[in-house]
Amino acid sequence: MDHAIIDQAADRQLNVEPYWMPFTPNRHVKADPTPRIVTSAKGAYYRTADGRELFDSLSGLWCCPLGHAQPRIVEALRRQAETLDYCPAFQMTNPVTLRLAERIADMAPDGLDRVFFTNSGSEAVDTALKIALGYHRLRGEAGRFRMIGREKGYHGVGFGGMSVGGMVANRKMFATAMIQGVDHLRHTHDYAEMAFSKGQPAWGAHLADDLERMVALHDAGTIACVIVEPLQGSAGVIVPPLGYLQRLREICTRHGILLIFDEVITGFGRLGAPFGADRLGVIPDMITFAKGITNGIVPMGGVIVRKEIYDTFMTGPAAAVELFHGYTYSGHPLAAAVAHASLDLMEEGDLFARVRELEPILEGAVHTLRDEPGIKDIRNFGLTAAVDLEPTPGQPGARALRVFERGLREGILLRFTGDTIAMGPPFISTPAEITGMIEMLRGLIRTEA
């Protein structure tokens, strides 16, 4: 433990040992935690305990698109806490949550107009999977129990999301606990066919035909749903090939399989439209969301559902409740108030249009890294981009870790998985901040070649 870290608020040394850090190599980080301790944030920057300023190149964990400490959001949170700080989520509700459901339904693609609230992306995914199973059962098709995800997919850490997820490392320790009957489509990233593509790759629509193979193998009558991220975020910005999602939609429709888009990252503007579904021109049966809806300030997630799915529950056999599912904090009034303030700022600032304006600036800048040492691939779409580094031989992930740690010392917070660096800067970033972010990354890549 580094005894030099002082908690200024409490005027005592910080002890890092009791805290089990999530998705973190605790032993490595706790050997030198100082660079990782953030004490405040404003706009697109964090400030660390030792006084460094870090550009927030992934908008938190994709969740703070409006930047930090937005006064309107802070005020909305304070006022809601004074007015109604909690309301039981079962059998009761409140005006701010009702208005938010209506507002999200209005923003969502045509036909998706019922909203179930959760507190995280993981909960949103597990909720969507349960709704899919319940829907088929109520329609007399209880045999539809299979759920299909995709390799490299990330759908959170609940047992449902983990099972349909396709990140190998996340599954390994729990391999014996996966939900039965889950299968995975191939992922759509292929270095030989699409390296250094800008926007949507032209190659790869045929990979959706994997689903036809599964229908033949398992019989459509056993398949409940397919869940995919329209753009795979956590795997390192894997952009859907042109026509791929259209094909998945068509196969699902033909076989009565529900299509779920996990838009926890792509929802609320990241691709320059309210939802990825809008930008990509494919409407699923359910959309999961979280992150950006509250600008990351308080947790909130949810599922937007096609009306017909909701109606199936409402016309089902009378029971104590239609769906035996929910969370103590579903539709929390504080989260709902913050969501309204966040959506107000997005609307007033026309920020989805701004994403579309920043997209070519990010694309132009990030692809100039191609000539730097040891670059394997570069991808971008909306306000997202990723750079795959050639790994240090025999040490996967080590080069990206070095780039990340040097970045912390030099003024940028990057996100890496394996040897991929992913970026998703705040929508409020200036063009100079976007190009500056890429120049900082260029310097780091050169130094850690």
- Least Å distance, CB 292 to ligand PMP, is 11
Q: How many residues are there in the chain?
A: 449
Closer Cβ to ligand PMP, 340 or 415, answer by number: 415
Going by C-beta distance under 8 Å and a sequence separation of 6 or more, which residues neighbour residue 391?
397, 398, 399, 418, 419
Binding to ligand PMP by residue 290, rule CB under 6 A? Answer: yes
Q: Which of 80, 127, 200, 234 binds ligand PMP (CB under 6 A)?
A: 234
Closer Cβ to ligand PMP, 241 or 424, answer by number: 424
Q: Pick the piece of the chain touching ligand PMP (CB under 6 A) from 29-37, 67-75, 116-124, 319-327.
A: 116-124
- Containing 235, the helix (H) or strand (E) segment is none
Contacts of 245-250 with C-beta under 8 Å, sequence gap 24+, read 245/208, 245/280, 245/282, 246/205, 246/281, 246/282, 247/205, 247/206, 247/208, 247/209, 248/208, 248/211, 248/282, 249/282, 249/283, 249/284
Tell me which residue has its CB nearest to ligand PMP: 121
Q: 324: how many CB neighbours lie within 10 A of its CB?
A: 9
Binding to ligand PMP by residue 117, rule CB under 6 A? Answer: no
Query: Residues in contact with ligand PMP, total (CB under 6 A)?
Result: 14
> CA of 220: how far to CAs of 147, 212, 231, 256, in Å?
11, 9, 25, 8
- Least Å distance, CB 254 to ligand PMP, is 26
Binding to ligand PMP by residue 96, rule CB under 6 A? Answer: no
Residue type, 418: G
Q: How far is residue 166 CA from its own chain's centroid?
A: 15
Site string for ligand PMP, 348-367 (x = CB under 6 A): --------------------
Binding to ligand PMP by residue 154, rule CB under 6 A? Answer: yes
Binding to ligand PMP by residue 384, rule CB under 6 A? Answer: no
Q: Pick the piece of the chain touching ligand PMP (CB under 6 A) from 44-52, 81-89, 151-159, 356-364.
A: 151-159
Query: What is the C-alpha separation between 388 and 196, in angstroms, rounded?
Result: 10
Q: Which of 65, 67, 109, 156 binds ligand PMP (CB under 6 A)?
A: 156
Q: Pick the piece of the chain touching ligand PMP (CB under 6 A) from 6-14, 150-158, 167-175, 411-419.
A: 150-158
User: How would you classify the pairing of strands 223-228 and 258-262?
Assistant: parallel
Contact residues toward ligand PMP (CB under 6 A) are 120-122, 125, 154-156, 229, 233-234, 262, 264-265, 290
